Amino acid sequence: MERKYQGIVTDRLGTLETRKTKLYATYKEAHDAAEKLCKKTMGDRGTIDVESITRAEEIAQALQESGTWDIALLKELCTLAGMESEWQAADGETFEDVAYAAAEKLGVEI
């Protein structure tokens, strides 16, 4: 499964909110973006890290942040889980069960 990388900037003093960069194709791009974000927002008091994220994790994160069901993202999640036929057969009563099963199969939480 394809991975992307996201830079994370944390305040050493714990008073400022943790900031995240957008997703990048390479570790170096994410690291460079995190360094730039750190200098811009926290200066010397910030620390940087880079995390690796799969498309399934990216979809789960987007669904959690939106607070609503995005049907296109749910369909993609089911496709990644190899549950495309189950998604196609789902209706308004069962689509959530299929989506949760796909998330469980991929090891993500929606």
Q: What angle do CA 30, 109, 38 make, to 5 degrees?
A: 25
pLDDT in tens, 3-21: 999 999 999 999 999 999 9
> Is the confidence at residue 53, as pLDDT, over 80?
yes
**Sequential DSSP letters for 12-71:** TTS-SPPEEEEEESSHHHHHHHHHHHHHHHTGGGEEEEEEEEEHHHHHHHHHHHH-S--H
What does the alpha-carbon distance between residue 102 and residue 69 come to, in Å, rounded to a whole number? Answer: 14
> Is the confidence at residue 67, as pLDDT, over 90?
no
Closest to 100 measured CA to CA, from 110, 87, 85, 88: 110
pTM of the model as a whole:
0.73
Structural domain spans, the chain? 3-54, 69-106
Mean pLDDT of 45-66: 95
pLDDT for the residue 7: 97
